[in-house]
Chain A
C-alpha cells in the first residue's frame, strides 16, 4: 500500500524568503508523485507532477520539486515566496502498477507567507 507523510503541518515564512515543504512516501512499487495547492474554500489545483525522466520537476507559480528515490522524498521548493502563495499544499502518490489511478494524499502543509 502507498502512503504519504508531510512532516510539517504548518510552515510560516516571510515574503520573498525561500521555502521547502517536505514530503516522504512509502511504496513497494514504482510511484507517480504530485503536489496540489488548495486556496481557501477552493478545490485542488495541480502544481506539478513526477511521472518519469528528470528528477527535478518544474511546476506553475515558480514551484519545483525533486524526486529522490533513495530517500523516498519529493520535497517542494520555491526560491522566493509571495503573499499569494499562502495556501494548503498536498503531496499525493499514485501507483498505477496496482491497477488503480487512485491518489493517496498526505495530510497537507499550511504555508503562511508573512508580509
Chain B
C-alpha cells in the first residue's frame, strides 16, 4: 500500500544533542510537510517542500532545519533540542500545492528531550 512512513516512532535525545527525524513516502507526491504537535495542542506547520523548493513558516525557529534529498525522503533536523521541543512530529504529503488536496499523514515520531 502507498503510504507515509516515519522513523523512528519514538526518539529520545539529550538537551542540546542534535537529532534527525526521517520521513519517506511511496505516494510520489510533490509536497512534503513537517508539523509539530505538542501535547493537547493542534498540529502546527513548521515548513514544507514543493519538490526541491523549501518553504519555511515565519515563526519556525532557526533551530529547526529540513532536507529533501529526493522525492521520497524528507528529514527534520533539530540542531540543539530544548525541553520545549518535546512533541510529536508529523510528516505529511500532498500531490500539488496549488490545489487543495488531501494531506496524507505518517504515524508521527514522538520526541522526548531529557
Contact = CB atoms under 8 A, between A and B. Distances in A.
A101 B98 contact: yes
B102 A49 contact: yes
A46 B43 CA distance: 14
Given A101-B97, A101-B101, A108 B107 contact: no
Chain B interface SS verdict (over half): loop
B4 A43 contact: yes
B31 A101 contact: yes
A42 interface: yes
Contacts, number: 57
A51 to B, nearest CB: 6
**Size band of the interface chain A makes with B:** 20 to 34
B42 A96 contact: no
A90 B42 contact: yes
A101 B92 CA distance: 12
A94 interface: yes
Contact of B97 (A44, A45, A90, A100): A100
Contact of B108 (A41, A90, A96, A103): A41
A80 interface: no
A32 interface: yes
Contact of A101 (B40, B100, B107, B110): B100
Given A44-B43, A90-B42, A102-B45, A96 B105 contact: no
Contacts of B6: 43
Interface string A6-36: 0001000000000000000000000010001
B4 to A, nearest CB: 7
Interface of A: 4, 9, 32, 36, 41-46, 49, 51, 90, 94, 96, 100-103, 105-108
